[in-house]
Amino acid sequence: MASSDAGTMFEYLLLSVLSGLLSSGSYQVVSYGEAQGEELQGWRKVSLDVANYVLGFGGVGVFILASNLGPVSVCMPAQTAASLLLNMIVQYCGGIKHFTKTMIAGTLILAAAALCLIFVGPTDPPSGSIDVIKLVSSTLAEVWLCCNVLLLLGSFAFLMCSRSRSVAAADASPLSEAGTAAAPKAPKESGARMLAYALLVAESTALGATIGKMITVSSGGILACCFFFYFLAGLGTMVGGNFASHVCDVAVYLPISQCVQLAVNGATGLFVWGDAPRVQSPVLYACVYGLVFLCVFLCSEIDCSKLSRQQSLLGGDQETNMAEQRVNES
């Protein structure tokens, strides 16, 4: 019996790792294609997008298989660790991104911290002990799910407004030699856009998981509605991830995205699925999430001293301009 349990555990851990590799690979194919220095267009762009969607759907499918064999609290951290390690290896070895010692350390610690969630996080509840409708209908669950929907819609609205501004800037830019407007390339280091894409993908994934559990206990018209919203959530996850792979720096985006996804899924477990009583070590559980957030800071290449100097220089320039204006007025 013990041998059978060990074999099952090895199987779903292996599937979880494979899911992480496929999900990360869906970003890497686009990132590597764009790193070649040629503008992606025509069949080349289509082929990379197809590979992105195929790998992404493959990762989702394998993760569903893994979660059916073992607890999500084990599968999700294993998937995250595999995804982050592949991201670092491909980005560094492919010459796409130069990883500093700080970024390498941050990635390795983040992967290790994600695996620690297996041993300090919530255990899986006994089979058949969860009343899905009762849990989802609680006041706390409804408030949290409404917050998720608002965050999802807010991130989507922000990305649409950002895209509209980019299109307006392209229309206002000087015409190229061919007589068409030269559309500016989306910045690869836009923190606001990265966070918006990470929220879009994480919220879509979390809501999709909740709707997926509701499908198992629904019927009739409610079941049809659940399938419709499940499709929308999946669409948000896949399309959001595809766009993020084009406009964001994948080496920085993926750690942020995985961190947000872990946090949203962890909070959903506490507020919706009643994971709090099953957390193995609440203090260590909170500390591991603290490590996760700090490691994302290390991976993001944010230099606080540099930002402070830039802010000081900007403030000094503004004071100089104001002084010159007062002199001219006098």
DSSP 303-319: -HHHHHHHHHHHHHHHH
Average predicted confidence (pLDDT) for the chain: 77
In tens, the pLDDT along 271-311 reads 888 888 888 889 998 898 888 888 877 876 654 444 445 44
Per the rule left: phi > 0, alpha: psi between -120 and 50, beta: everything else, 186 is beta
In tens, the pLDDT along 180-234 reads 444 444 445 457 788 888 889 888 888 887 787 777 667 778 788 888 888 888 8
Categorize the per-residue pLDDT at 16 as very low, low, confident or very high, splitting at 50, 70 and 90. Answer: confident
In tens, the pLDDT along 243-255 reads 888 888 888 888 8
- For the ranges 66-80, 110-124, 283-297, the lowest mean pLDDT is seen at 66-80
pLDDT at res. 217: 67
The single residue listed with the structure tokens 């929308």 is 232
Contact 141, 213 (CB under 8 A): no
DSSP 216-277: TT--HHHHHHHHHHHHHHHHHHHHHHHHHHHHS-HHHHHHHHHHHHHHHHHHHHHHTS--GG
pLDDT at res. 147: 92
- For the ranges 39-48, 58-67, 105-114, 285-294, the lowest mean pLDDT is seen at 39-48
Mean pLDDT of 76-80: 81
Residue 201, exposed/middle/buried by CB under 10 A (0-12, 13-18, 19+)?
A: buried
Residue 249 CA to residue 28 CA, distance in Å, equals 11
